[in-house]
Chains A and B, each alone.
Chain A
Amino acid sequence: MTPFQYSRATSAAEAVQSAGLEAAKYLGGGTNLVDLMRETIERPAVLVDVTGLSANIDEREGGLLIGAAVRNTALAEHRVVRERYPVLARAILAGASAQIRNMATVGGNILQRTRCAYFYDDEGSRCNKRTPGQGCDALDGFNRMHAILGTSPACVATHPSDMCVALAALDATVHLEGRQGRRTLALTDLHRLPGDHPEIETVLEPGELITAVELPPLTMASTYRKVRDRASYAFALVSVAAALRVEDGAVKAVRLALGGVAHKPWRAWKAEAALKDGPVTAEAFRAAAEAELADAAPLRDNAFKIELAKRTMVSVLGELAGEAA
């Protein structure tokens, strides 16, 4: 681990000021960042601990305002989240292990980095995310876990978060504070697709800090389904966050997002458009899934994800339709 200076922020403004350097990083639970620092993939000169900032969960205009320092366990066990946003509780509980969830913060979960093995293999592999312009060994490598949507020749890594997939489906907004002041952003606009610059993973300005996540009210049945290689404690092959409201036998409102398939939590806008006001049938669900995956581009080892994503979407929508009926 490269030496760094550690400080603890007591306010967002102080954190932003302390992180005035390019080589500064904010520290949440550390479950990803400390690991990457130990591998010397992350080499911050300054580490600003922001776990002392807001860890409140407040009801606000029918929705929730969630402090960025809220631990994953605290969010998943919160009464309102369990009752009104089961998709979020289930997504968090499908991620990592209980120990990691006790440590990880909401802000850190959002900004965690890919678990692509080539990104981690500092000495043995090329990675455009780690060393821009170097090339990508995942393209022709062991890429069973990699992305099928929104990829580029520069990067086929996936975003590993479960929580973010639920937040994408929930129309969550992210509250930011930086040197230029405060702003809010849709979570779906926070992460970037890799394009030519996979090393730039979000639209955050240097030193900009996530201070909170806001959820609008949800008046739909919702759930999260994660498909993985083992029953627990594994990253998603494919996951689906979904919310559905059926009225008079038609889809009145629907939200869908996919995990394990792209460089960012993937909001399935095309599938939603195909479903809206349509019939509540397995055929309609399948057609919507086909529409979303039409542009999927498989690599050598991950073509199975295309059919898996479609079937998982159909299955989850069927489950919610049964609940809503």
Chain B
Amino acid sequence: MSIIVNGSATPLPPDPRVSLLDLLREHLKLTGTKKGCNQGACGACTVLLDGERVVSCLTLAVQAEGRAVTTVEGLAQSDKLHPLQQAFIDRDGFQCGYCTPGQICSAIGMAAELERGVPSHVTGDLTAGTIAASREELAERMSGNLCRCGAHNGIIDAIAATFISKEAAQPYRPDGPEMAA
């Protein structure tokens, strides 16, 4: 009767009403994961559940029994930041930082989806084996994470620099050429 949070087994809360988000923040004091809207609209509470990105506010902790949860606290290796964390710093991927842990967890899940060939709303050819990670694709795939400071361009730059290529992460120009995969 436990959940694996960042590699450590954690007992389930006795009350099934406890959300995964509240378990993380209030019971385990892992406050990196943020509570924004608490209704699945903002993505600030995004964590990885068995490697898949989910919103922890609408996940009951009991539903995660026996599964592995990764939060933003589980990404760095001791003092060495995850490359995406460093890229957020290097590319101005945030201002206030409240949405950042959700953005980062979401982007890691997103990169795995892209690698697996999961199509998106803006994918032209649904049957293509590989999907070019255009800026449009990245923006669509990150639409579940809102940034009220408006750092979205830096966020996409950081994601592109980490998972696609350094060349792909040129600062955003509205009329510029689409970046290649």
Contact = CB atoms under 8 A, between A and B. Distances in A.
B53 A102 contact: yes
Contacts of A94: 121
A27 B145 CA distance: 25
Contacts of B43: 97, 99
A6 B106 contact: no
Interface in A214-257: 231-233
Interface of A: 1, 3-6, 27, 29-31, 34-35, 38, 47, 49, 51, 73, 76-77, 82-83, 86, 89-90, 93-94, 96-100, 102-103, 231-233
Given A97-B43, A103-B58, A82 B144 contact: no
B106 A98 contact: yes
Q: Which of A1, A27, A97, A98 has the most CB of B within 10 A?
A: A98
Nearest to A232: B143
Nearest to B141: A98
A233 B144 contact: yes
Given A4-B17, A98-B110, A89 B60 contact: no
B60 to A, nearest CB: 6
Nearest to A37: B17
7 contacts: A30-B59, A31-B55, A38-B39, A83-B127, A90-B126, A98-B113, A232-B139
A102 B113 CA distance: 10
Nearest to A223: B126
A35 B54 CA distance: 14
Contacts of A232: 121, 139-140, 143
Interface string B117-140: 111110100110000000000011
A315 B130 CA distance: 29
B27 interface: no
Given A3-B17, A82-B127, A90-B126, A102 B52 contact: yes
Contacts of B117: 77
B40 A31 contact: yes
A232 B118 CA distance: 17
A93 B113 CA distance: 13
B31 interface: no
Contacts, number: 99
A102 B59 CA distance: 12
A30 B63 contact: yes
Contact of B119 (A4, A76, A233): A76
Contacts of B109: 98-99, 102
B63 A99 contact: no
B140 A99 contact: no
Given A6-B16, A30-B58, A51 B63 contact: yes
Contacts of B62: 6, 49
B17 A1 contact: yes
Query: Which of B39, B53, B126 has its CB near the most chain A CB atoms (within 10 A)?
Result: B126
B19 interface: yes
What 3 pairs between A and B have smallest CB-CB spacing? A97-B144, A232-B143, A6-B16
Given A35-B39, A51-B63, A77 B54 contact: no
Contacts of B119: 76-77, 82, 89, 93
A77 B55 contact: no
A103 B141 contact: no
Given A49-B63, A94-B121, A97-B143, A34 B53 contact: no
A246 to B, nearest CB: 21
B46 interface: yes
